[in-house]
Amino acid sequence: MTTSSTPSAREPGAEVQIQFEGHRYAGVRGQTVAGILLGNGVRAWRTTSAGERPRGAFCGIGVCFDCLVTVDGQRDVRACLRRPEGGELVTRQHDLLPGRQGEDADNDC
């Protein structure tokens, strides 16, 4: 079995599942984590460092960092690029900005 280097490429017929916030979500092998979440109605899986605003896919091509998640303990994974093999545990990633712990930040990053 060969897998295309294109993150959006699908391999028809092979279902994969990921776990996110206590739910299992199914997708097709070759879909990205972001594709599986979006395909199942999940629109946000990260919050901003300041203001805790919801974020999900923005550029969809790995240029920005709006879709960062943790996959099986590995931080800073771009959900729009990672194609799961199946069974991965995906968790939200939220970090406070340095020097802002406990502050009420109005600016968004």
Q: What is the domain extent for residue 59?
A: 15-92
Whether 9 is covered by a domain: the verdict is no
| CATH label of the domain that carries residue 84 | 3.10.20.440
Q: Is residue 99 part of a domain?
A: no
Residue 45 placed within a domain: yes
User: Residues 6 or more apart from 57 whose CB is under 8 A from it?
Assistant: 34, 38, 66, 67, 79, 80
Rounded to whole angstroms, how far apart are CA atoms 45 and 65?
12
Whole-structure pTM value: 0.76
Whether 97 is covered by a domain: the verdict is no
What letter does residue 6 receive in the DSSP assignment?
S
pLDDT tens digits, one per residue of 31-65 = 999 999 999 999 999 888 888 889 999 998 999 88
Q: Is residue 43 part of a domain?
A: yes
DSSP secondary structure letters along 37-104: HHHTT----EE-TTT--EE--SSSSSSSSTTEEEETTEEEEETTT----S-EEEEEB--PPTT-TT--
Whether residue 32 is contained in a domain is answered as yes
Please state the separation of Cα 40 from the chain's center in Å.
Answer: 13
Q: Is residue 42 part of a domain?
A: yes
pLDDT at 11 over 80: no
- Provide the domain count of the chain: 1
Q: 3-state DSSP call for residue 36? A: helix
pLDDT in tens, 64-95: 888 999 999 999 999 999 999 999 999 998 87
**Residue 4: inside a domain, yes or no?**
no
